[in-house]
Amino acid sequence: MKKQSLFAALIAATLLFHACSGGKKSTDDKKQVTIAMVNWIECIANTNLAKAVLEEKGYEVKLVNADVAPVFAAVAKGNADLFLEVWEPITHKPYIEKFGDQVEHIGTIYSEGLLGLVVPQYVTINSIDELNSVKDQFEGKIIGINPGAGIMNITEDVIKNYELDYELVASSEAGMLASLKKAYDKQEWVVVTGWKPHTMFARYDLKILSDPKKTMGEAETISTIATKGWAAKNPELATFFKNFKMTDDLLGSLMLAVESNPGQEAEAAKQWYHEHRELVDSWFK
C-alpha cells in the first residue's frame, strides 16, 4: 500500500482545517465548538449525537470531516476542539505518540472496541492462519477502508506476520460495506477489515477470524481527545464529554438509527437524543 509522507499529510491537514474552521478560534468564543470526525459509522453516530445535544444547549457546533491523520493534526493545532474516535492502545498509537503532548484525554466512550478480519459465517475458515489455504476463494484480496487508517496499517502487519499472499485493497468504509453486501447477497466469499462496534454485525451474520498471533490486539477503548488546555476553558462541555458513555445496546441502536437515514444523520441523532434525553442530559452533571 502506498503511503503519503507525513510531511505532506500534515501540510494537507493544516490547509484543510484552516479553510474549514477559519483557523484557531478565539478563547473568548465559548459558545462555538468544532468537532472533527472520520467516516466510521460509530464516529458519525456519536458526533452527530453530540452536535444535537450541544445545539439544544445553545452551542454553535461545526463538524469537520477528514481522514485520521489530518484530524489528529487539527486537534493538536487547535483548529478543531474535539475528536470522539480515538482507539487505544493499538490502533491510533502512532498518532498518540506523535501528537500526545498537544492533546488531552477527556473521557472513554466505549470499552469493548475490537479490530479484526471479518468474514460471513458461511465461510468455512475461522482463523487468519487459514487464509492462504483458501486464497482463490477470496481472489487474494482483503477489502480495506481509507488509506492511512489505523486498521489499515495493522492489517499490513497481519499480512507480514502471517506471510499472507494477499493484497490489501484500500477503499473507504462505504466501499468496504458495499463489497461486503455484494458478496454476502450472492453468498460469495469475502474478507474485509472490520471492527466492533459496527452495524454490519446487526445487518449480516458475520464472524471475526481468530488471530493466534494477536497482531490485531485485544479489546480497545474508544475515547475523546481535545486540544491541550481545552477542558479547563470549557468545564461544562468537559463534564459532558467525560460522562459520554455507550454500551453495546445504546451504541447499536444509535448507529442503526443514523445509518438507516442517509443524508439525515443529524435528524436521526436528534430523535435518538429525544428518546434518551434523561440519560444523555445526566452527562452534564
Q: Which fold has domain 6-112+220-284?
A: D-Maltodextrin-Binding Protein; domain 2 (3.40.190)
Strand partners, 108: 223
What's the pTM value of the predicted model, to 2 decimals? 0.72
Strand partners, 196: 114
* Class of the CATH-defined domain 115-208: alpha beta
What residue spans in the chain does CATH classification 3.40.190.10 cover? Answer: 6-112+220-284
pLDDT at residue 274, as a whole number: 97
Size (the chain), residues: 285
What residue spans in the chain does CATH classification 3.40.190.100 cover? Answer: 115-208
pLDDT digits (tens, 9 = 90+) for 38-78: 998 899 999 999 999 999 999 999 999 999 999 999 999 99
- Is 149 a residue whose pLDDT tops 90? no
Crossing angle of helices 6-21/68-77, nearest 10°?
Answer: 60
Cell triple for 12: 494537507
- Is 9 a residue whose pLDDT tops 70? no
